[in-house]
Amino acid sequence: MFKEEEICSLSTLYSYTERGLLKVKNIDLPEKVGRRVKKKKNRKHKRLHGQSIEKRPESINDKKEFGHWEIDLVIGKKEKTDQVLLTLTERKTKKEIIRKISGKTVNAVHRCLKKLKKETPNFNKIFRSITADNGVEFSKLYEIGEKMGIDIYYAHPYSSWERGLNENTNRIIRRFIPKGHRIREYTKKKIEKVEFWINTMYRRSLGWKTAEECYQNELELLDAVVT
């Protein structure tokens, strides 16, 4: 009989066998042979076909050039039947665009952008680039970007700070539309009020101007160039 302190665990026994410290082989250990060792999967993020944020020019990074946006979705209640909010934030002026779309899908996102293009004069001068996260709903954004003449950049996985302005603005939206509340229950008028509130609040980072004021100033500069 072995004393309790002399008895080792099965894992230790198998470890000693692997290291050749015992005069036995794996074949002598039926339990070892019968067990399948689960290999840890090295989960690599599937690289999207679009451009990485690493390729985004410094003129966009420093927020001194107008026409560069960050995009995201704001989810209400996690139901397939619920709608979601698509949010776009312009990096220089902090102008916010909020649109209610049918769901968290590629097609819903693309339909919204196509509609926005029809509604926006000088669209290609106003929307020069969009930075997205790696969500499935944005996986084909680079395709519609090519068709619309918009440069699409993808942030690194799990790096929300690379779209920090958009993320912070989404937190403001949550003051009016908390998590778990159905987006479907909020009317278009209510969404417009939230958008208006965000765009008309005075911001220290903008020299105590509003995002709307700064945005309109940029539009006037564009008109001057066009005319």
Predicted pLDDT at 33:
46
- What is the value of pTM for the model shown? 0.78
Our measurement of the distance from residue 15's CA atom to the centroid of its chain's CA atoms, rounded to an integer in Å, reads 44
Report the residue count for the chain: 227
Q: Tens digit of pLDDT for each residue in 69-110?
A: 999 999 999 888 999 999 999 999 999 999 999 999 999 999
Name the residue with higher pLDDT: 126 or 6.
Answer: 126
**What number is the average pLDDT over the span 208-224?**
95
- At residue 47 the predicted structure's pLDDT band, cuts being 50, 70 and 90, is very low
Q: How sure is the predictor about 140, in pLDDT bands with cuts at 50, 70 and 90? A: very high
| Structure-block tokens of residue 145 | 């970007």
User: Which pLDDT value is given to residue 24?
Assistant: 63
* pLDDT (0 to 100) of residue 224: 83
| 106: CB partners within 8 A, 6+ apart | 136, 137, 138, 139, 140
User: Using one digit for the tens of pLDDT, what is the confidence trace for 185-208?
Assistant: 999 999 999 999 999 999 999 999
- The percent of residues in the chain predicted with pLDDT above 90, rounded, is 73
Separation CA 94–CA 91 (nearest Å): 5
CA separation for the pair 152, 145 (Å, rounded): 6
pLDDT band at 42 (very low <50, low <70, confident <90, very high): very low
Mean pLDDT to the nearest integer, 114-143: 96
Fold of 51-196: Nucleotidyltransferase; domain 5 (3.30.420)
Q: How far is CA 11 from CA 25, 39, 41, in A?
A: 14, 16, 21
The pLDDT of residue 50 is 84
Average pLDDT rounded to a whole number, residues 18-41: 55
> 183: closest CA among 111, 96, 79, 95?
79
Domain limits of the chain?
7-34, 51-196
> Which residues contact residue 95 at a Cβ distance below 8 angstroms, ignoring those fewer than 6 apart?
89, 199, 211, 212, 214, 215
Reduce the DSSP state of residue 68 to 3 states and report it. Answer: strand
For 65-83, b where at least 16 C-beta lie within 10 A, e where not — what string? Answer: ebbbbbbbbbebeeeeebb
